[in-house]
Amino acid sequence: MLEEISFQIRDNFETKNKIREEGLKISREIVRECRTASFALHGKDFEKADSSINAAGRALKKLKSRFKGHADIYHAGFVEHAQQEYSEVAVLYGLLKEEGKIQNLPSPDELGVEYAAYLNGLGDLVGELRRHVLDLIREEAFEKAEVFLGIMENIHAVLMDFDYPDAITGGLRRKTDISRSLIEKTRGDVVNSIQQKKLELAMKSLESRL
């Protein structure tokens, strides 16, 4: 009897381990496609970004279907990480493609991700938006930089509303704190750059009158 029980448990564990290994492989594929999309977006290659995001979305659906009946492995952490990466880049795509318009951003239900993963993806998105704002500053596109700074602040305000235990939000509080720090640095960069530009223009105006 004990041998039969042992065999049944071992068979179950073998199945779970196989599915887990497959899931890890798929999740790494999702993360890789998302990072490819992110680099493409910052390089303004929206076609390549769209292709990678779609590939990540297909892989994510495959991952979810593979874990049916194995909730313990599904919630082990790596699936949520893949969903966070996917949420982050999907929303980034919408923001950069529409040049800061937030009306038609994809929802977690549309993306097929857990709510906590979506919110944590937004937390990580603040860092990507800071990178975009710095690019805009280098291009001296200060008005656009201020628009995206405003989006960063809007995201932080939304995340602040979710004051729930980490067991529910997946550690969102930490990412919210990090996003606040990034926003403060970015605001300083934008303000300093605008002031420096105004000073340069004033100096040129003065030189032209001398």
- Is 88 annotated in a binding site? The answer is yes
**Which of 164, 170, 168, 166 is CA-nearest to residue 78?**
170
Is residue 138 within 8 Å of 117, Cβ to Cβ? Answer: no
Q: Which amino acid is at 148?
A: F
| CA angle centred on 47, ends 64 and 87, rounded to 5° | 35
**Which of 176, 7, 34 is CA-nearest to residue 111?**
34
- Is 14 annotated in a binding site? The answer is no
DSSP assignment letter at 171: S
Cα dihedral sign for 84, 88, 91, 97? negative
Residues contacting residue 72 through CB under 8 Å, at least 6 positions apart: 16
Is residue 108 within 8 Å of 114, Cβ to Cβ? Answer: yes
Is residue 61 within 8 Å of 67, Cβ to Cβ? Answer: no
What is the signed CA dihedral for 167, 170, 174, 175, rounded to 10 degrees? -160
Annotated binding site: 88, 128
Annotated binding site for Mg(2+): 88, 128
